């Protein structure tokens, strides 16, 4: 496998649709026009590990967990915006937020995976690129197949 082959695969991964970024390395290499004749006989120059290592060395592309973001309805967006405006009117100065309790929840689930592993470059710009974010309305798994741990945390005065 040459550097030109690895760059062709990297370019294809950069430009392919999100749904394809989780496909196996050989399939991506074949769609990029690089892999030749591996289905009938084993071609060690284009086996999965060789493709992955060479593409990662040339372009820093490797498999990462995708960032999952849900799309909010226009009504939800409007409600969040109105809440922010109201809170800024009630507490316009940072000092007024000292006695506000902040809540956070952590849902720790085991079971079927719903967060895709996608091939992308390393670093924040690539991680938060809209082409690498998993937008799926019902991306969460079936609750009946999950084991849940529910942790609820309240952070109070001067928590920072």
d(CA 93, CA 153): 25
**Domain boundary assignment for the chain:** 3-63, 67-155
Average pLDDT for runs of 10 along the chain of length 160: 89 91 88 71 71 90 82 81 86 76 57 74 87 69 60 59
d(CA 3, CA 57): 9
Do the beta carbons of residue 129 and residue 66 sit within 8 Å?
no
Q: Can you give the pLDDT at residue 159?
A: 53
DSSP 46-79: GSHHHHHHHHHHHH-EEEEEPEEEPPPPHHHHHH
Q: Can you give the pLDDT at residue 13?
A: 93
d(CA 75, CA 60): 40
Q: Nearest Cα to 23, choosing from 120, 101, 103?
A: 120
């Amino acid at each position: 496998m040459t550097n030109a082959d690895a760059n062709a695969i990297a370019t294809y991964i950069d430009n392919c649709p999100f749904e394809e970024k989780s496909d196996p390395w050989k399939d991506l290499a074949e769609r990029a026009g690089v892999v030749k004749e591996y289905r009938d006989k084993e071609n060690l120059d284009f086996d999965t590990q060789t493709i992955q290592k060479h593409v990662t060395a040339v372009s820093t592309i490797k498999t990462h967990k995708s960032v999952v973001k849900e799309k909010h309805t226009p009504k939800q967006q409007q409600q969040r915006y109105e809440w922010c405006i109201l809170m800024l009117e009630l507490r316009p100065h940072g000092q007024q937020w000292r006695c506000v309790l902040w809540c956070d929840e952590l849902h720790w689930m085991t079971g079927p995976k719903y967060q895709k592993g996608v091939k992308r470059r390393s670093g924040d710009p690539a991680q938060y690129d809209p082409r690498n974010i998993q937008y799926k309305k019902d991306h969460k798994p079936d609750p009946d197949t999950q084991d849940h741990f529910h942790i609820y945390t309240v952070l109070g005065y001067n928590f920072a």
